[in-house]
Structure formats: C-alpha cells, structure tokens
Chains A and B, each alone.
Chain A
C-alpha cells in the first residue's frame, strides 16, 4: 500500500494550455492539459504510479482527482506541476491575507493513487 505523500504544487501556463484555451474551455486538449499533474520520476516510483493513473490531490481546503504523468526534467523531486485551470484553482484557499491574491502557486498538497490506468 502506498501512503499519500506531501508535495509542493506549482500551477502554471503551458503552450498546450494556451492553444487549448483558444479552442475552447470544453475542448479535449484543454481539458486533458488542465487535468494532468506532472510528477518527477522518483516520486512516481515512490507513490507506485504509472502514467495515466488517477490520483487524489488535496490541500487543507479542497481536493481534486487528476491523471498523473511522468515529468520530463522540469520538476525536481518533491515538486509537482499542473497547468493552471479549474482543478488547480479549486485547491486554493478563499483567504488572500490582505492581498487580493489567493496563494495559487507553491501550495502544499498531498497525493495518493486512486485508480490504476
């Protein structure tokens, strides 16, 4: 049994997220892109994950289910990346600490496998 592990989640823009956005927020490319979390190969192994598995990812405020994929050299171990969109924003806290901006990058998240691909 693989226990959940804590990571730092960095949502951000990608080229595919941008082109998909123009095709429409309900296009397959866009939905696929914003629903995929990229995880370092070492972390994939520690969590017992294969590309395409569904993971549960949660913060103190909300949780989402997304597909995981092995990151290709961008994220160091302990850091996971997701394209900015509906799923990444759901994990944010409403509170902005007087800034107007919810913490939307560098969020602490826990991840565990739910369904194998």
Chain B
C-alpha cells in the first residue's frame, strides 16, 4: 500500500519555521529559517550548500510503508516479520544510528539488550579509533562556543571543513568575533595539516602538507618539542616537514592564549588509526603545561555524537558493544559491524539510517546480503534493496522531533518543518520492542 494513495495532500499552506536545526553534518546548525509550502521546503535561510541540499531534497516520496522481500507491505506486517527475525536470530547485530534521534537510538539499544544482540554505530567506521584513544589518553575537551569565543590558535588536522562542514569556519571556529577575539579572523592564527592541498588550505595561515601515513610521526615529534625533548631531524624524511619549521610552530602554539585542534578522519581512517588519535590527544594534553589547549574530533553525520552518548550512557561503551551475555562487552575488531559481517558471524541485522551495502568492504557486503535484515531508511538504498524488511521512515529534523547532539556533545532539540505520513524510527522501533517483549513474556 502506498502512502500517497491513502492520504492525498490537498491543502496549500505556507509557514515559516525559525531556528530549525540542520542535521546533515555534525555542525548541527540550529539557526536555520525554513519556509515551507505544501510539504516542500522552499527556502532554508542561513543553511550552507549542503544544508540547502538536505532541506530541499527530503520531500515526501511515494513509496510503500514497508517492503518484505521486495513486496509492498504495511507497517504492521513489516513489524511482525521484524520481530520474528530478531527473536529467531542467534547473533543479531544492530547498526547505523548516526542519522536518527537520540530517542530512537535509545530504543535500538533496548531492543538489542532484550534479544542479547550486538550494538554498533557508524562511529566504528568514523571516529571509533578516536573513541578508543579517549579511553587511553583522555580528552581535553570544550564546546564549540569556547572555541568561538576564545581560540586564538586553531589547528585543523586531517579534515577538509570547507567541503565537509561548510559553516564550521564561519559559525564556530575561524571567522566569528568572540568575547576575547573582538576582531574575529584577524585575532586568530590557523593551521591546516593534510596530505592534499584542499580547499580548506586557502582559509588558513599555515599549511603543512605532510607525506601520506606520517601523521603519527609528526604528532610524536611535536609532542617531543612541546615537552622540550630533542627530536631527531630525520623526522623530515618521514613527514616532509623540516624540524626547524616544526619547532617554530610549536613555539607559536605555546604562545597562544587558547589553542584548539580539530581533527578529521584523515587520522582515524589511515594506517595507525587509534594511535594517530592518541598522538593528537596526547599533544593537546601536553600543551596544557604551557597554555590552554583542547582537541575535538570533527564529526560527520548529524547525530553520530548522539549515538556515542546514548550507547555510552546505556551500556558504558561508545560503540561495538555485545550484550549476548546479559552484560555489555566492548571489543573493537570483534564486536564492530564491519568485522563481524566480514567474518560471516552475524545471522541477522537491523540497520537504522545507514547504508553499509554501499560503504562496507566487499566481504562484509556479501555476508549482509545473505542474512535476514531489517532496514529503516527514509530513502531507497542498496542496503534497503537487499533487506528482508525495509521500512520507509520519516526524516529526522525535517519531519520528526527529538534530540540530537552537536559534535561538541551539546544536545540540541529538533524543530521539524512538516509532518510526514511515514512513521518515525522511534515509532517503528517502539512497536518492534513491544512485539518482542510480548513474545518473550508469553514464553516465560
């Protein structure tokens, strides 16, 4: 049954939503003014090019409520089949969650707990390695508001905010005037460290073009300089950066009033992974012997930070958590979805707002296509195409209210633009949980 057939929209309406929240990237800008007409967003004032594309392209599509093995079905039929799959699985995995509300994330953890499954989020293939590094090194952290008001030395490391987080520079870090930086950009020194001379290089004062796969060595050399330890000049051969230049940079860093390192997946996705993040977090920590320095990961998806928070406060660990023994166990590499699919371990999967069939390794995709899976997504995806049950959902932030966390762990409420005839992730997951509990209680 198609939604458009059941609920035709005839009314014309025009409304303005002030302070709407964009959930396309981790900046989670909450100052967007939306103009909505006939269930279509016509204007998105203040949004960047990515935010505009997000708001303008999430209209109501005419798709079935659910597909069971490719055949149109109702939500109730899809939910009944999903309950059956999850209850019959020996090793079910719940995955995704970075593009949905905290309320839905919480429900997904609950379901996984009831069925003794494995819960993991897209963090494991994003800043998961940084999550591991936080556990070993700790985090000298701050809010983006502190960066805006205080940071007079900014280092962007292994990321290209000009293209991936377009308003980061203008709203939070590089450009804005702050309480202690009345001249804004002029009061700040900015540096970019990257292998490629990306569009972000144009925005900074110092660009360090490093050799690929040498972040760890460069960070370790900088840590040495920060601590006043002699560093081997051969660091230049490995990293491409001369030692005297590095020494000069660290001296400047020591003179800053407040420094912030904002790091991207250039660190976590490259060989070294969590030890690259460890090096960077260690550098930020060491710099506090001289002056205030902080480090924050640049997070990609709108609520990936919320996923970390919700999974952490409910299980004690941020991602890759196994609940099969009735208590949480954390082991990246073992309980992370990419690995357990590539090894052919899971026998069922529930994927929420994510598309592993187009971004996992080949062996992981092959296994996912073989097992029973339940997919919740507003749009058709390669993962939805291979799913046993694929639900069409309403889009968070545009149709669905709730809470998301900005990349600096600040919770922000959503102010949806218009209602969708499709169900939210939360509503579907709540129904699945209810179905599971009824069956479990009937047996016991």
Contacts and interface: CB of A to CB of B under 8 A. Distances in A.
A contact face: mostly helix, strand, loop, or mixed: loop
Nearest to B214: A106
Given A15-B163, A15-B166, A94-B364, A100 B128 contact: yes
Interface in A86-111: 86, 89-90, 92-106
B361 A102 contact: yes
A19 B49 contact: yes
B413 interface: no
A9 to B, nearest CB: 10
Interface range on chain A (Cβ under 8 Å from partner): 35 or more
Contacts of A12: 160, 164, 196, 198, 265-266
A115 B363 CA distance: 28
A76 interface: yes
Residue of B54, B164, B196, B332 most packed against chain A (CB within 10 A):
B196
Interface string A59-92: 0011000000000011110010100111001101
Nearest to A38: B196
Interface stretch (B1-9, B252-260, B336-344): B336-344
Contact of A102 (B50, B120, B125): B125
A92 B271 CA distance: 12
A89 B163 contact: no
B54 A62 contact: no
Contacts of B53: 18-19, 21-23
Interface stretch (B31-39, B86-94, B140-148, B352-360): B352-360
Given A19-B49, A25-B379, A25-B382, A89 B361 contact: yes
B288 interface: no
Given A10-B196, A18-B164, A103 B358 contact: no
Contacts of A74: 196-198
A10 B363 contact: no
A94 B341 CA distance: 9
Interface range on chain B (Cβ under 8 Å from partner): 35 or more
B27 to A, nearest CB: 12
B160 A23 contact: no
Given A95-B342, A101-B268, A23 B333 contact: no
A18 B124 CA distance: 21
Contact of B336 (A26, A76, A100, A105): A100
Nearest 7 Cβ contacts at the A-B interface: A100-B336, A94-B342, A98-B333, A22-B53, A100-B332, A19-B53, A100-B124
Interface of A: 8, 10, 12-15, 18-19, 21-26, 61-62, 73-76, 79, 81, 84-86, 89-90, 92-106
20 contacts: A10-B195, A10-B196, A12-B164, A15-B50, A22-B56, A23-B53, A25-B381, A61-B361, A76-B197, A76-B209, A79-B196, A89-B360, A89-B361, A90-B362, A94-B339, A94-B343, A96-B332, A99-B332, A100-B339, A106-B213
Given A10-B195, A62-B362, A106-B271, 19 more contacts: A18-B24, A18-B50, A19-B53, A22-B56, A22-B58, A25-B355, A25-B382, A61-B361, A73-B197, A79-B195, A86-B358, A89-B359, A94-B342, A101-B129, A101-B268, A101-B338, A103-B270, A103-B271, A106-B212
